[in-house]
Amino acid sequence: MTKLTKKQESGICLSCGECCKRYYITLLKDEVGPIAKELKISQKKFLNEYCELHVKIFPKSTPGILTFPTIFFPKKIGDMIKENLGYSPQGFFVLPQVVLKRKGGICPFLPEDLKCGIYKSRPGPCKLFPYIAVPGYRESYPFCPLFRKQWKDYSKKSRSYFKKVKTYFHLIEDKGFTKFWRNPPIKGKIFLNETLIGKINLKELELMMVNRKTK
């Protein structure tokens, strides 16, 4: 494969946009400010208009970080779990995230000319793609023209990013989601074992995490 310059990489990336049509992009808190600044809007407006809440839950019986008893979940959430699993596990690993909304199934910052509207301040997953160093993932990107033309070792950058993600979830555990995020999105989606099962709002998330152990 021929080694490409950064300009050539950007040119290929900005002429495709296929990844922007396939994935939800997760944001870390420190990524919000730069994006809002590039858009010339407040962080509150950015979070309200361009982001939504995603809550991923996984059955878990042993105590641990972000693990909560099902008994405190709102009835609506409990009913969705029973409908999809056929029973109600005693507890769940709960991962609350802020993601970019998708309008018509694509990133809100991908216009018709495919020129990313926040390219300079784009989030970590966008910068790592398609060289994210996670076994089994890179093989899932045959649609990416940049991946077909060159391969790069992003293992160090990937480790650095996932270290930030790990720190993020520990901070959520310590402070609680609504105290960690200022003006977070109030509505979004809930996923059970990565499968979308319905809608959720911020108040319902707070109830699910109300039994969080305060450190």
Which pLDDT score, from 0 to 100, does residue 139 have?
67
Tell me the pLDDT tens digit for each residue of 28-39.
Answer: 999 999 999 999
The domain segmentation of the chain, as residue ranges, is 6-208
DSSP H helical ranges for 14-111: 18-22, 29-39, 43-50, 75-85
Strand 67-69 to strand 51-59: parallel, antiparallel, or no bridges (unpaired)?
A: unpaired
Residue 1 in this model has a pLDDT that exceeds 80: no
- Whole-number CA gyration radius for the chain: 19
Contact indicator for 55, 98 with CB cutoff of 8 Å: no
Contact indicator for 158, 152 with CB cutoff of 8 Å: no
Which residue has tokens 């596990």? 89
Which pLDDT score, from 0 to 100, does residue 137 have?
66
Short-list 181, 199, 146, CA closest to 20: 146
Contact indicator for 57, 73 with CB cutoff of 8 Å: no
Tell me the pLDDT tens digit for each residue of 166-195.
Answer: 999 999 999 999 999 989 999 999 999 999
Which pLDDT score, from 0 to 100, does residue 92 have?
97
Contacts of 175 (CB under 8 A, 6+ apart): none
Banded model confidence at residue 159, pLDDT cuts 50, 70, 90: very high
Instruction: Tally Cβ neighbours within 10 Å of residue 85.
Output: 13
Q: What is the mean pLDDT of residues 148-159?
A: 88
Which pLDDT score, from 0 to 100, does residue 151 have?
82
As a whole number of angstroms, the distance between CA 213 and CA 173 comes to: 8
As a whole number of angstroms, the distance between CA 106 and CA 53 comes to: 16
Banded model confidence at residue 215, pLDDT cuts 50, 70, 90: very low
Tokens at residue 215, please? 């450190």
Tokens at residue 150, please? 């060159």
Mean predicted lDDT score pLDDT of the chain: 91
Tell me the pLDDT tens digit for each residue of 121-152.
Answer: 999 999 998 888 776 666 678 889 988 888 88
Tell me the pLDDT tens digit for each residue of 64-98.
Answer: 999 999 999 999 999 999 999 999 999 999 999 99
Residue 212 in this model has a pLDDT that exceeds 90: no
Which pLDDT score, from 0 to 100, does residue 101 have?
95
Which pLDDT score, from 0 to 100, does residue 111 have?
86
Contact indicator for 92, 58 with CB cutoff of 8 Å: yes
Banded model confidence at residue 214, pLDDT cuts 50, 70, 90: very low
